[in-house]
Amino acid sequence: MTPVFCCGFECGVTGAHWTLSAGGGFDTTTKRSGARSFKLTGGVSSLVTNTIAFSSAIAVLRMYVYFTDASTAVCLVRFKNGSSGKGGFTIDTGPVIKAVCGPNASSTGIPIVSNRWYCIDVKLDISNNPWTCDVKVDGVSATQATNAVAASTYTSMLLADSLDSVSDIYFDDIILSQTTGDYPIGPGYVNHFVPTSDGTHNVAGANDFERSATGTDITNATTTAFQLIDDLPLETGAPTDWINLIAPPNSTDYVEVIFGAASGINTPLVAPRAVEVVNAYTSSATGTNNLRLAVNDNGTLNDAFNANAALTTTNCKYTTKQYASGPAGAWTVAAGAGNFNNLRMRCFTSDAAPDPYWVSAMVEAEFKEILFIKPLNINQSVNRAANW
């Protein structure tokens, strides 16, 4: 697989992956996996847009959707370029889920009912004339939708395109690829991982890295720096605690944290298919400085963020990066290169004026879900195998 994005809505803040016009937000009650889903409140016209910039003619999407009243649900998950809709899926009377391609919907759809999660796979191909869109619901195909127009690309993904649904709608466990052969992605789920311990720091002396604005140094002997950036949900607005990069004398000095399973999540025993690194940052004042946040994959570094950010506010900002494989090679859960269970991150600076703040860090990882048949006396039942 070659994923370019995954999200389980675990960060709990708009602005990292999604913007919302009205009527909803993160939900901790009705969720399929992890700690959160994303809810659209019935009766409110909502526009939910992905903040990640895309540019592709191919979209291969897997997501889970839940309707509290399927008979009154209005849902349009669409890929767009500017104001022009390209394709996705929609709810029609019946109620059924149909493929959408430009203005055209498929002739037949897949019936749905209320109060259950549906696994929806989408393949949109607008690389040629005609465009095509295929949709599967729990593995069952709807009729293909087509649109006879010239080839195009999409630049954004929307969970709701200014729609007002009577039903509440919940989304969870999203993964996106831009490779035709990845369709259908099929069952899977997204779990979240946060800093749970300190790694090996490389701090030259005093007043290089400090605990928030306390004046207390983070030294090579510190073991609790991770507690400054392990916020769930991620911090918003003015931060309450952070790793403060005061004045490291060398751009190679760093503070390191190690990621582990968040509360309620087990340590994986199989490798993820996609890893999304999410960070919150700001600085002591507005202006331009440098903050480098590097993923450490068992000794191989890769920058998740490295920028001279021109900050016009001291409120939290967010940065994300997707890893289809580890910086050192394919993801594994064994010792050595690619070992997801030993994933670390370091913070550096080469320009600490104003002081950069590393505020929060999280990893969202998508795992394939394995279904198997287990005999129970003379009967059989389908069970979901977790990743541990």
Q: What is the pLDDT of residues 147-188, one digit of tens each?
A: 999 999 999 999 987 677 889 999 999 999 999 999 999 999
pLDDT of 371: 64
Name the CA radius of gyration of the chain, rounded: 22
Mean pLDDT value across residues 49-77: 93
| pLDDT for residue 384 is more than 50 | no
Residue 285 identity: A
Fold of the CATH domain 192-368: Jelly Rolls (2.60.120)
* Neighbouring residues of 379: CB distance < 8 A, sequence distance ≥ 6: none
Three-state DSSP class for 180?
A: helix
Contacting residues for 215 by C-beta, under 8 A, at least 6 apart: none
Please give the pLDDT value at position 320.
97
Half-sphere exposure of 4 (CA within 13 A, CB side): 18
Report residue 241 as tokens: 């605690």
User: How is the chain split into domains, by residue range?
Assistant: 3-186, 192-368
With cut-offs at 50, 70 and 90, classify the pLDDT of residue 210. Answer: very high
Q: Is a pLDDT exceeding 90 seen at residue 375?
A: no
CA distance 183 to 99: 14
d(CA 370, CA 256) in angstroms, rounded, equals 34
Residue 6 has pLDDT above 70, yes or no: yes
Q: Which of 15, 9, 11, 12 is nearest to 318 (CA)?
A: 15
Give me the phi and psi of 56, to 5 degrees please.
-160, 160
Alpha-carbon gap, residue 106 to 263, rounded angstroms:
42
> Residue with structure tokens 């395109």?
161
Question: pLDDT at position 382, please?
Answer: 33
Q: What is the DSSP letter of 167?
A: S
- Residue 213's alpha-carbon distances to 45, 217, 283, 316, 355, in angstroms, are 42, 10, 11, 16, 10
Arithmetic mean of pLDDT over the chain: 92
**Positive or negative: CA dihedral 165, 166, 167, 170:** positive
Place of tokens 């005609």: 130
Domain 3-186 has CATH 3.10.20.90: no
Pairing of strands 300-307, 209-211: unpaired
The overall longest dimension of the chain from CA atoms, in Å, is: 70
Query: How much is the average pLDDT of 39-65?
Result: 93
Interatomic CA distance for residues 336 and 326, integer angstroms: 11
Q: Is the fold of 3-186 the same as that of 192-368?
A: yes
Give the type of residue at 47.
L
pLDDT band for position 311 (50/70/90)? confident
Name the nearest CA neighbour of 345 among 191, 190, 200: 200
Q: Please give the pLDDT value at position 45.
A: 84
- Which residue in 338, 197, 194 sits closest to 278, CA to CA? 194
pTM equals 0.92
Peptide bond into 268 cis (omega under 30): no
Q: Burial-class residue 380 by CB neighbours within 10 Å (0-12, 13-18, 19+).
A: exposed
Res. 257 pLDDT band, cuts 50 70 90: very high
Mean pLDDT of 104-133: 96
Residue 26: HSE in the Cβ half-sphere, 13 Å Cα cutoff: 20
* Beta carbons within 10 angstroms of residue 114's beta carbon: 14
